[in-house]
Amino acid sequence: MTLEQFLTAILFKDLDYKVTEEGVQVFSSDAFREVIERSMKNGVGIYRVLVWKNDEVEEILTHEQFLKKATDLRWAKSAYFKFSREDATYEFSGEFKVSEKLLERAALFVPKVKKKDEEEE
């Protein structure tokens, strides 16, 4: 399973987001809070949180600024709450850290969807 497949199948599943020209997934405030929660449950780290307003990056926050490891998501929650309380119209995106072991293990748990040709046989 690739990083992109993992993110869309597990972290971003059933969430609304838009994708920029550069391929960055940008979430509403509520959706990004859910992304942080899912990241915590799945052992995914976050290197950076980008705060967006009017389709432009307003602020870039990193785990190093908060003196935390990327996998200690308390920093991401703090960064998120700081900006979401300030202005509800902010949108958020992140740069995620997913270990190779997690990608390999996740491939076992994501159900495979049968194609129509396979079902008819």
Q: Is the pLDDT of residue 57 over 90?
A: yes
- Residue 9: DSSP 8-state: I
What pLDDT score does 69 carry?
A: 94
What pLDDT score does 101 carry?
A: 87
Question: Tokens in use for 23?
Answer: 């391929």
Do the strands 25-27 and 17-19 form a parallel or antiparallel pair, or are they unpaired? Answer: antiparallel
Q: What is the mean pLDDT of the chain?
A: 87
What's the half-sphere exposure (Cβ side, CA atoms, 13 Å) at 7? 18
Cβ distance 97 to 46 under 8 Å?
Answer: yes
d(CA 53, CA 43): 28
Domain 3-120 belongs in CATH node 1.10.3210: no
Q: How does pLDDT run across 83-118, given as a tens digit for each residue? A: 999 988 999 999 999 988 888 887 665 555 555 554
